């Protein structure tokens, strides 16, 4: 069953990426930073799937957490980041700029800012994932009880499938963000229509 999910996800990827292979709406730092974070989200998505295929579940979940944070950073940069924040993320990487970037908002702070300034649909999707998964993701990132027990006792196939579906769900939200960055927002409906063709690869609906 898991292989079917992965095979179907590969079909989804093959159709999704050409849809969002578009230039940015403008050349502002805001869109540029958001676009790079969005691209990182897709890279982490691919890495999560590959690690799951190899049976490396704890490592996959750590990358899956990074996938979520990259998506959140993308949405935050586009809708809620200040010019000062964007400047810190747009400068050449040096020891000094690295130090300055340490003061960027936390996950909780970005969530609060997106809730206030971002589109409700994007916030709802991101917040729903965070509420359901964040504690477990942190446990895997910090070698807590979740990865220790799973690593000792083995990984249920259902858990592998669940993580793959959640990763796919985040990727669809990222694709919708990419559509916004291109300025072709009606493309979001096409993305959702595509995702609806792969219900077995997606998280359960509310």
Residue 19 is predicted with a pLDDT of 96
- CA 58 to CA 65: how far, in whole Å? 11
Residue 69 is predicted with a pLDDT of 98
DSSP-derived 3-state class of residue 197:
coil
| 40 touches 63 (CB < 8 A) | no
CB neighbours of 195 closer than 8 A, spacing ≥ 6? 12, 168, 172, 202
Residue 206 is predicted with a pLDDT of 57
Length of the chain: 206
Q: H helices within the chain, ranges in order?
A: 2-19, 29-53, 57-79, 83-90, 95-100, 107-117, 120-141, 145-153, 157-182, 187-196
Residue 1 is predicted with a pLDDT of 39
- Write the secondary structure of 31-73 as one string of H (helix), E (strand) and C (coil): HHHHHHHHHHHHHHHHHHHHHHHCCCHHHHHHHHHHHHHHHHH
- Average pLDDT rounded to a whole number, residues 84-104: 80
Predicted confidence (pLDDT) per residue in 150-164, tens digit: 778 877 888 899 999
Predicted confidence (pLDDT) per residue in 1-25, tens digit: 344 899 999 999 999 999 999 999 9
Predicted confidence (pLDDT) per residue in 99-149, tens digit: 766 788 999 999 999 999 999 999 999 999 999 999 989 888 888 888 788
Sign of the CA dihedral 118, 124, 126, 131?
positive
| 9 touches 50 (CB < 8 A) | no
Residue 4 is predicted with a pLDDT of 83
Q: What proportion of the chain, given as a percentage, has pLDDT over 70?
A: 96
Question: Where is average pLDDT lowest: 85-89, 98-102, 191-195?
Answer: 98-102
Residue 97 is predicted with a pLDDT of 66
Q: Residue ranges of the domains in the chain?
A: 2-87+105-201
Helices 120-141 & 157-182 angle (0-180, nearest 10): 140
């Amino acid at each position: 069953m898991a292989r079917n999910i992965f095979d179907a996800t590969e079909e989804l990827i093959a159709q999704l990426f050409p849809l969002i292979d578009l230039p940015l709406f403008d050349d502002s730092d805001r869109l540029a930073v958001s676009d790079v974070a969005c691209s990182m989200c897709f890279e982490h998505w691919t890495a999560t799937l590959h690690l799951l295929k190899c049976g490396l579940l704890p490592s996959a979940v750590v990358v899956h957490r990074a996938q979520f944070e990259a998506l959140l950073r993308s949405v935050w940069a586009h809708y809620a980041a200040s010019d000062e924040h964007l400047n810190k993320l747009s400068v050449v990487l040096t020891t000094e700029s690295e130090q300055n970037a340490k003061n960027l908002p936390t996950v909780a702070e970005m969530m609060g800012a997106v809730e206030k300034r971002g589109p409700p649909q994007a916030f709802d999707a991101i917040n729903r994932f965070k509420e359901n998964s964040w504690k477990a993701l942190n446990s895997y990132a910090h070698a807590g009880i979740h990865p220790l027990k799973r690593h000792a006792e083995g990984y249920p196939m259902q858990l592998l499938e669940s993580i793959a579906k959640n990763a796919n769900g985040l990727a669809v939200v990222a694709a919708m963000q990419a559509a916004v960055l291109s300025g072709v927002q009606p493309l979001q409906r096409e993305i959702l229509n595509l995702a609806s063709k792969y219900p077995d690869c997606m998280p359960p609906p509310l």
